[in-house]
Amino acid sequence: MKNFRKNLVLKVILLILVIYIFFLLYFNNQILLTFVTAGIIIYQVYSLIKYVDRTNKELTNFLQSINYSDFSQNLTFGSLGNSFRQLADEFNNVLEKFKRLRNEKEESLNYLETVMQHVGVGLISFSANGNVELINRAAKKMLGIHTLKNIRNLNSISNNFGDYILDLPSNKKMVHQISIHSEIIQLLLYSTKFGMRNQTFKLVALQNILPELEEKEIEAYQKLIRVLTHEIMNSVTPISSLASTVGNMFDTIKNKYEGMETDTITDIASAMQTIQKRSNGLVSFVEKYRSLTKIPKPSIQVVKVSELFQRIKILMETALKGSFITFTTNAEPNNLEIATDPELLEQILINFLNNSIQSLKESNEGIITLSANIDDRGRIIINVKDNGPGIPAEIIDKIFIPFFSTKKEGSGIGLSISQQIIRALGGTINVISEPAKNTIFTLRF
């Protein structure tokens, strides 16, 4: 019998028949046969219950498969008939749809995870109590961390930075500056809230905009300098030329004016010479500042840092001669190499070293250290450190501005050009100074 109904009807009929026999034997005082019949009845009832329970077990397995997301099973209902085979097919179709939906969901999550991890903007998602649900590689790299369990842990990176992010207003852009491992980072932060699993979460996007700000600032200075030098040159060049012409003409005709007083002639000649000299000086001055807009294109090659430092040490011997300054170099590891333009990098480092020498000219125990190493992010770090008087806090943010200088004889273009060269070499520059203690210029590549 392959049909569930027929099997069930047959079992019920047999059970009724055996019960009838049981009572017939009982009333005829057939005690032994009555007990045997009672045992058969009990077995038939047990068999009937087990037979019916088979469908319940299959249904239970089906529901458990959904509950535990286990879609590897298939329902068959054994050989219970066509109606149950149809039911099993429908159940299996439902399981297959759940399985397909789960796979699609996992694929979507994997796709989202891949996009999130490879996007250049830092992303951090956390709950209302600060527990971090998600953080991508860009954020970890930006903040110099490997893991982050609670957003308040960022307080140890920069003063109250974790609390600042936790309290960020939603749907509003904020700019916040932090210092990580002596590196200044200007962050653009954007926060938004969303609900999930009956909880409120916050998603914060972080982007370091300092390189873009510096680039725009440099570009603005270059445009300003180009305009100013163009206008100054247009005005001064004719003045210098006319002054020279008038001076030559006066030398030619001054003998014709013998009646003119000697002092007057001398004053006129001196005035012409002064006009010409100052005009030429101004032209030379403008030409010098044109160099701010003419940074040469780097010629990149692999350079051994220790050899670069040795060349610089030799070049600085003349400037250090007769001073009370100790100059040392150190590159770790000794075989450290960098891909850069050696001539441009030498120019930057020599500029920093000359500034350090000038700041230590009144010192009897000056120390200048030129060092290089690899930081925990795998970047090459070059430091120029001196124990000079330092840079006051109120002007340290201005030292890279063109024409700004604290020296009477300074032109104010050295550090500005250095910053532009570093940008062209693909690096960044940062300065930290403690007055009366030390100053450190740091290059990162």
Instruction: Please report the beta strands in 130-250, taking only residues with DSSP state E, as ranges in sequence order.
Output: 132-135, 173-180, 183-196, 199-208
DSSP 131: B
Q: Is the dihedral of CA 297, 302, 305, 308 positive or negative?
A: negative
* Nearest residue to 369 (alpha-carbon basis) of 349, 343, 342, 344: 349
Q: Look at 267 and 389; give whichever has higher pLDDT.
A: 389
Q: Assess if residue 401 is contained within a domain.
A: yes
Q: Look at 239 and 13; give whichever has higher pLDDT.
A: 13
Residues 203 and 246 in one domain: no
Per-residue pLDDT of 149-193, as tens digits, reads 999 888 887 778 888 888 888 888 888 888 776 677 788 888 988
Residues 390 and 434 in one domain: yes
Please enumerate in sequence order all residues whose Cβ is within 8 A of that of 261, keeping only pairs 6 or more positions apart, or say none: none
Residues 283 and 217 in one domain: yes
* CATH of residue 197: 3.30.450.20
Quote the CA–CA distance of 440 and 179 in Å, as a whole number: 15
What's the mean pLDDT when you consider all of the chain?
Answer: 78
Please enumerate in sequence order all residues whose Cβ is within 8 A of that of 332, keeping only pairs 6 or more positions apart, or say none: 371, 372, 373, 374
Q: Look at 242 and 369; give whichever has higher pLDDT.
A: 369
* Nearest residue to 188 (alpha-carbon basis) of 152, 157, 213, 214: 213
Q: Domain tally for the chain?
A: 4
Per-residue pLDDT of 122-134, as tens digits, reads 899 998 888 998 8
Q: Which residues of 311-322 are buried (b: 16+ CB within 10 A; e: fewer)?
A: ebeeebeeebee
Quote the CA–CA distance of 35 and 32 in Å, as a whole number: 5
Per the structure, the complete domain to which residue 231 belongs is given by: 213-293
Residues 137 and 254 in one domain: no
pLDDT classification of 1: cutoffs 50, 70, 90: very low
Residues 204 and 338 in one domain: no
Tokens found for residue 109: 């999550």
The pLDDT of residue 198 is above 50: yes
Q: Assess if residue 109 is contained within a domain.
A: no
| Predicted local confidence at residue 224, as pLDDT | 63
DSSP H or E stretch at residue 329: strand 325-331
DSSP 149: S
Quote the CA–CA distance of 18 and 244 in Å, as a whole number: 140
Q: Assess if residue 111 is contained within a domain.
A: no
Largest CA distance in the chain: 176
* CATH of residue 427: 3.30.565.10
Residues 128 and 43 in one domain: no
- Average pLDDT (94-108) is 78
Q: Assess if residue 107 is contained within a domain.
A: no
- Average pLDDT (3-10) is 70
Domain boundary among 234, 262, 293: 293
Domain boundary among 250, 265, 293: 293
Residues 306 and 332 in one domain: yes
Look at the block and give the residue holding tokens 């011997």.
Answer: 317
Domain boundary among 251, 277, 293: 293
Residues 236 and 179 in one domain: no
Residues 352 and 406 in one domain: yes
Using CB atoms within 10 Å of the CB of residue 259, give its burial: 0 to 12 exposed, 13 to 18 middle, 19+ buried: exposed
Q: Assess if residue 110 is contained within a domain.
A: no
The pLDDT of residue 203 is above 50: yes
Per-residue pLDDT of 357-374, as tens digits, reads 888 888 888 899 999 999
Task: Return the SS3 of 288.
Answer: helix
Residues 204 and 222 in one domain: no
Q: Assess if residue 145 is contained within a domain.
A: yes
The answer to whether 165 and 148 are in contact (CB under 8 A) is no
The pLDDT of residue 77 is above 60: no
Look at the block and give the residue holding tokens 């770790």.
Answer: 332
Residues 410 and 363 in one domain: yes
Task: Return the SS3 of 430.
Answer: strand
The pLDDT of residue 293 is above 60: no
Q: Assess if residue 44 is contained within a domain.
A: yes
* Nearest residue to 175 (alpha-carbon basis) of 184, 125, 433, 129: 184
Residues 14 and 149 in one domain: no
The answer to whether 269 and 250 are in contact (CB under 8 A) is yes
- Average pLDDT (217-243) is 65
pTM reported for the whole predicted model: 0.54
Q: Is the dihedral of CA 373, 377, 380, 384 positive or negative?
A: negative
Alpha helix ranges (H) inside 119-209? 137-143, 161-166
